Amino acid sequence: MKRDLISIKDLKLEEIEHIFNLTSELKAKVKDFGRSLSGRSLGLIFLKPSLRTRVSFEVGMSHLGGHTVSLTPEETKFGTREAVKDFGSVLSRYLDALVVRTFSHSELEELAGSSDIPVINGLTDLLHPCQALSDLYTIREKKGSLGGINLAFIGDGNNVAHSLLYGCAKLGVNLTVATPGKHKPKEQIFAEALELAKASGAKIVLSDDPSAAAGGADIIYTDVWTSMGQEAQCKKRTRDFQGFQVNQKLVSLAKPDCLVMHCLPAHRGEEITDEVIDGPNSIVFDQAENRMHLQKAILLFLLGGD
* Rounded CA separation 89/71 (Å): 15
Query: In the chain, where does DSSP find H-type helix?
Result: 13-28, 52-63, 73-76, 84-94, 105-114, 129-143, 159-171, 187-200, 210-214, 234-240, 248-251, 274-277, 284-303
Per DSSP bridges, beta strands 219-222 and 119-121 are unpaired
φ, ψ of residue 124 to 5 degrees: the values are: -130, 175
CA distance 212 to 226: 23
Chain centroid to Cα 196, Å, comes to 18
What element of type H or E holds 42? strand 41-46
- Scored b (16 or more CB within 10 A) or e, 77-114 reads ebbeeeebeebbeebbeebbbbbbbbeebebbbbbbeb
Q: Which residues are catalytic?
A: 101, 128, 131, 223, 263, 291
Find all residues with CB under 8 Å of 160, minimum gap 6, and list them: 128, 131, 132, 153, 223, 263
State how far the Cα of 53 lies from the Cα of 72, in Å rounded to an integer.
Answer: 15
